[in-house]
Amino acid sequence: MVLKERIRSYFRIISKPILLVSLVSFFNDIGSELLYPVMPVFLSSVGFSVVLIGVLEGLAEATAGISKGYFGNLSDQTGRRVPFIRFGYLLSALAKPLLVAFTWVWWIFAVRTADRLGKGIRSSARDALLSDETLPENKGKVFGFHRAFDTLGAAIGPFIALLYLWYYPEDYKTLFLLAIFPGVVSVLITFFLKDKNKPDRPEKPKTSFLGFLKYYPKASTDYKLLIAGLLFFTLFNSSDAFLLLGLKESGLSDAQMIGFYIFYNLVFALAAFPMGVIADKAGLHKTLIAGVLVFSFVYTGMGMASATLHFVILFILYGIYAAATDGVSKALITNHCRREETATGLGLYNALASIVTLISSSLAGLIWFSFGAGTMFVFAGSGALLSAIYLAVIHHRKSGK
C-alpha cells in the first residue's frame, strides 16, 4: 500500500504538458530511429563514400548543435516555448521522407541538414518547458520520465525497420516514406500544447545568431564549472557508432549489432524514470558522477571484451549510464540558470557540446585507425574517469561552502 501511494505521488508530478511533450518525443523518435539501421546503407547505395557520409553527418550535427544555442536564446527572449517545439518537429517530420525524393548530393545535404536543424529549433525550448513545469527537487523525475518515452521510441523504431526489411529486403525508399507517419503524429500532438502565460517580452527580439554566447560571462560560477566538466567528458564520449563498430569487429552480424542497439535503448528507457527518482533523492550531482564512472567501466571493458555475454553485461550498464546522465545533466544545468534564461543556458551548453562531439568522434576515429579499437576504448574510459574526478571535486567544493 505504501509503495502504491509512493508511485502515485511520483506520477502526480507529471503534468499534462510534460506528458504531451514526452509523447511528442516518443513518436518522433520512432520515425527517426526507424531509419537508423538503413541510413548508411541508403547513402552508400546512392553513391556516398564513407568520407562523404562522415562529412554529411558532421555538418548536420554541427547545424543542430549551434542552432540549439540561437533558438534557445530566441525562446527566452520571446518568452515562448511551444512555437519552437512545434515548428522544430514539423521541419524534421517533413525532411525525413524528402531524402529519397532525389539522389543529388546537394539535395541530400540540404534535406539532412534541415532535419537536424529541426532538432536544433525545438530542443532547448522543449527542455526549458520541462524545467518550467516542475520544481528543482523533482527535475530528475521529470527529465527521466521524458527520456523514458523518448528512448522507448528509439527502441521501437529500429525494431520496426528490421521487421519490415525482413519481409521487404532493400526496400529503403518505402521505409523512408513510412517514417513520415509517426512524425506527423508527433506534430499533431504539439497542437495540444500551450504556453502558460502570454509573454510581455517583444515578439521580434534583436539577437544575432551567436548572441547566446553572451550568456556565458554573466552565468553563475556553478554553471560554468558544471558545463566545463560535462564538455571535458564529451571530449571522450564519442559517437555510439564506435560501440556498434566494436561489436561488428568482434564478429557479430549486422542484425546482432542492431539488436544490441535496440537492447541498449530498452534498458535506457526502463531505467530513465527510476534513475530520475534516485537522482532526486540521492542528489543530481552524485548520480551524474556515478553515471560517468559506469561509462568509464563500460568503455574500458569494451577494449577487453570478446564474448557475447560480456557485451550483454556492458550494454546493460551502458543503458544505465545513459539513464543516470542524460536527463540528470539537463536537470542540473537548468538548476544553475534563472528561469527566464533556461533555454539559453541549455542552448549554450548544447552548442558547445556539438563542437566538442565533432572533435571527440574525429579523435576516436584517429586513435582507432592508428592504434586499434582496444586502445580507443581504454583511452575513452580513462578520460571519463578523469571527468568523474573533476565533477566530484567541484561537487565537494560546492558542498564545502
Residue 278: pLDDT band (50, 70, 90) is very high
- What angle separates helix 16-34 from helix 105-132, to the nearest 10 degrees? 160
Residues 32, 290: Cα–Cα separation, whole Å: 30
Least confident piece of the model among 20-24, 46-50, 341-345:
46-50
Between the two ends of the chain, the Cα-to-Cα distance in Å is 41
What are the grid coordinates assigned to 199, written together?
A: 509573454
If DSSP codes are grouped into helix, strand and coil, which group holds residue 1?
A: coil
The pLDDT assigned to 199 comes to 55
Spatial CA neighbour of 138 closest among 310, 290, 277, 305: 277
pLDDT, tens digit, 9 for 90 and up, residues 127-159: 999 999 988 889 999 999 999 999 999 889 888
What are the grid coordinates assigned to 30, written together?
A: 520512432
Residue 43: pLDDT band (50, 70, 90) is confident
- Average pLDDT across the chain, whole number: 85
| 8 Å CB contact between 378 and 300 | yes
pLDDT, tens digit, 9 for 90 and up, residues 308-353: 888 999 999 999 999 999 999 999 999 999 888 999 999 999 889 8
Residues 143, 151: Cα–Cα separation, whole Å: 12
The pLDDT assigned to 292 comes to 96
Q: What is the dihedral of CA 381, 386, 392, 394, to 10 degrees?
A: -140
pLDDT, tens digit, 9 for 90 and up, residues 208-259: 677 888 889 989 999 999 999 999 999 998 778 778 778 878 888 777 887 8
Residue 268: pLDDT band (50, 70, 90) is very high
| HSE, side-chain direction, 13 A CA sphere, residue 36 | 27
For residue 168, the tally of other CB atoms under 10 A from its CB is 11
Spatial CA neighbour of 283 closest among 401, 381, 396: 396
Residues 71, 65: Cα–Cα separation, whole Å: 10
Residue 282 has pLDDT above 80, yes or no: yes
pLDDT, tens digit, 9 for 90 and up, residues 167-188: 887 777 788 888 889 999 999 9
pTM score = 0.85
- How many separate helices (H) and strands (E) can be counted in the chain? 17, 0
Per the CATH hierarchy, to which homologous superfamily does domain 13-194+213-399 belong? Answer: MFS general substrate transporter like domains (1.20.1250.20)
Query: Would you give the DSSP letter of residue 341?
Result: G
Residue 3 has pLDDT above 70, yes or no: no
| HSE, side-chain direction, 13 A CA sphere, residue 300 | 11
pLDDT above 70 covers what percent of the chain? 88
Domain locations in the chain as residue ranges: 13-194+213-399
Residue 358 has pLDDT above 80, yes or no: no
Residues 133, 312: Cα–Cα separation, whole Å: 37
Residue 5: pLDDT band (50, 70, 90) is low
CA angle 287, 293, 296 (to 5 degrees): 145
For residue 11, the tally of other CB atoms under 10 A from its CB is 11
CA distances 9 to 2, 13, 22, 138, 284, Å, are 11, 7, 19, 11, 20
Residue 197 has pLDDT above 70, yes or no: no
Least confident piece of the model among 10-14, 45-49, 310-314, 362-366:
45-49
Residue 165: pLDDT band (50, 70, 90) is confident
What is the enclosing helix (H) or strand (E) of 20? helix 16-34
